[in-house]
Amino acid sequence: MAQGSVAAGGAVVARRTKAKPARTPGGKGSSGFKKWVLGIALVTLLGVAGAVSLAFIPVATVMAVWCELTERAPLAECTMTPGGEVCSGGATLANVPEPWAEIFTAAGDEFSIDPAYLAAIYLTENGNTWKPLDTDWPSSGCCHGPMQFNTGAGTWDAYKYSAGGGPPDYMDPWDAIFTAANLFTHADGVYGSVTAETPLGDAATWEPGTFVYSAASYNAGPAGNWNNNETLRYVQNVHALISSNFTQGGTGDYGEYATYPPPHGMGIGEGEDGEPTEGGGVSGCGGGISGGGLDGVVRIAEQEYAKGIVEQPMGSNCGPTISDTYIATGCEQWCADFVSWVFLQAGIPFQPEAGTQGYFWRHDWQIPAVIGMRAWFESGGQGQEFIPVGSGGPTKPPRPGDVMIHSGHVSIVVAVDDATRTLTTIGGNESDGVRRSNGTFSVGPSGPVVGYGRMNP
C-alpha cells in the first residue's frame, strides 16, 4: 500500500474477534493420519530399496513422499521439477518461515483466503524480506506496519480486525495480516472480493476476479492510477512470488520495472547458521533461492543502470523512480538513497542500531546523507565495516558489493580488477542519472576515495 489506498466507505466489516489462534500451519484434522500412512509407505519403500537397490527407485518418488512428511502441502501439490531435486508445489507455504507461516495459515483459515496471497502481499510490502515479528515497522506519511495500512484515508479503520481479542494494532503482525485478509474478503466491488477459489491471474492483464487485480488495488487504491512503475513492479512481484512458490522475486512481462530480489531472511535459502548454500540456494523440498546478498546488490545495481533512469527534468533531483522509489518520496540529492534502496532490494538492508538512529530520519532502511552512511559503516553494529583509504590505498582491497565513499558521494562497486587496481561502479545522481563509471582503488570516478563500506552478510 505504498501509494495509499482509499477507504471503502461504509463497508460492512466482519467482526469475529477471538483469541489468537495457536495452530500449526496446515494442521487439518486428517493430516496426522495421512502423514502416518505416508510414513509407513516411505518405510516400506526404503525397505524394498534395501532388498533390491536404491538405484531402481526414482529420486523424485522418494523426495515426493519425504516432502509430504516434512512440508505443509498435500502430496498432490508437492510436485517435482525435472531432476527431482526441488519440491515446488503451487503456493504451499513450504518456503515461508515460521512464525510467519502460522499467521498466514491462521488468517487464511479464518477468512477463507489462500494464505499464499497474504504472504505475497507481506513480502512485496517489505522488500521481499522475512523480518522478525518484533521489527520496528517503517511508517510513511500515510502507511504503517507490516502490511502498510493507510491510516489517513481510513482503510485501517474500515477493516481493522483483532486476532487476539484486544484493540486492533496495525503494528502487530497478527492483527495486520488478519486485517488484510478481512479487507480482501469483504471489500466487494472495491478491491475485488477474494475467496479461497480466486485464481492468481495473469500479471500482464490484471483481469477483474483475479488476485493480481486485487493486489493492484491494495497498492494504488481502487480509484488510483495503476499505470505507474511502482504498481507494475508490485503486481509483478506478487505474481512471481506465488507462481514460484516463494523462491523468486519479480521478473517477467514487466521485467524492465521488476527489481525485487528473491525472498531473503530468517535462514530461508541460506543453509546452516545463515550461510549461503552453494549456488545461492537450497536443495530438497522448498526450492532454491538465488540472487540475494552481495551478488544481488551487484545484479540489482546493473538492472537499474540498464533502465537508463535520469532526472526529469535534468538537474532537478526529481523524476519517476527517483522520487517515488529511491528517495521514497520527494526530491533531493539522491546518491545515498539509491545505494540504500539497492541494498534493501537485495535483502540486506541498512538498519539502525543504538547510536545510529539519527542517520535514518525517513525510513528504517535508508541513510539519505553521505556523512551518515560513512558513520553507520564505521559503527560496525551489525557486522558492517568501514575500510579507510590512505596514502597507500585501502587497507583491504575492494570487492563487488562494497560501497565506495567519497567526501560527498557514494556508489556501488560492481567489478574489480586487482591486477590493475581499477574498478567499476554504479551510482545514482551521477550526471543526473544512474551511471556506470570506472576508477582506481584510491581515486574513483568522483575524485579521491575516503573509504569503502562493506556489508558482511
pLDDT in tens, 80-124: 233 333 233 344 687 888 899 999 999 999 999 999 999 999 998
Report pLDDT for 455: 94
What pLDDT score does 246 carry?
A: 84
The owner of cell 517435482 is 80
Q: Three-state secondary structure along the chain?
A: CCCCCCCCCCCCCCCCCCCCCCCCCCCCCCHHHHHHHHHHHHHHHHHHHHHCCHHHCCHHHHHHHHHHHHCCCCHHHCCECCCCCEECCCCCCCCCCCCHHHHHHHHHHHHCCCHHHHHHHHHHHCCCECCCCCCCCCECCCEECCCCEECCCCHHHHHCCCCCCCCCCCCCHHHHHHHHHHHHHHCCCCCCCCCCCCCCCCCCCCCCCCHHHHHHHHHHCCCCCCCCHHHHHHHHHHHHHHHCCCCCCCCCCCCCCCCCCCCECCCCCCCHHHCCCHHHCCCEECCCCCCCHHHHHHHHHHHHHHCCCECCCCCCCCCCCHHHHHHCCCCCCCHHHHHHHHHHHCCCCCCCCCCCHHHCCCCCCCCCCHHHHHHHHHHCCCCCEEEEEECCEECCCCCCCCEEECCCCEEEEEEEECCCCEEEEEEEEECCEEEEEEEECCEECCEECCEEEECCC
Residue type, 340: S
**Distance (Å, rounded) from C-alpha 267 to C-alpha 286?**
12
End-to-end CA distance of the chain: 29
pLDDT at res. 254: 42
- For position 265, what pLDDT does the model report? 80
The pLDDT profile of the chain, 457 residues, written as one tens digit per residue, is 544 333 333 344 444 333 344 333 333 333 344 444 444 444 444 454 444 333 333 333 343 443 333 333 332 233 323 333 323 334 468 788 889 999 999 999 999 999 999 999 999 888 888 889 998 887 666 688 999 888 766 788 889 999 998 999 999 999 999 999 999 998 765 666 788 888 998 888 888 888 999 998 888 877 566 777 778 888 888 988 888 888 788 754 444 555 677 787 876 544 333 333 332 222 223 332 233 678 889 988 988 888 889 999 999 999 988 998 999 888 999 999 999 999 998 889 999 988 899 999 888 999 999 999 999 999 998 889 999 999 889 999 999 999 999 999 999 999 999 889 999 999 999 999 999 999 999 998 888 999 999 998 7
Q: Please tell me the distance from the alpha carbon of residue 145 to that of residue 170, in angstroms, as a whole number.
A: 5
For position 435, what pLDDT does the model report? Answer: 93
Beta strands 451-454; 385-390: pairing state? antiparallel
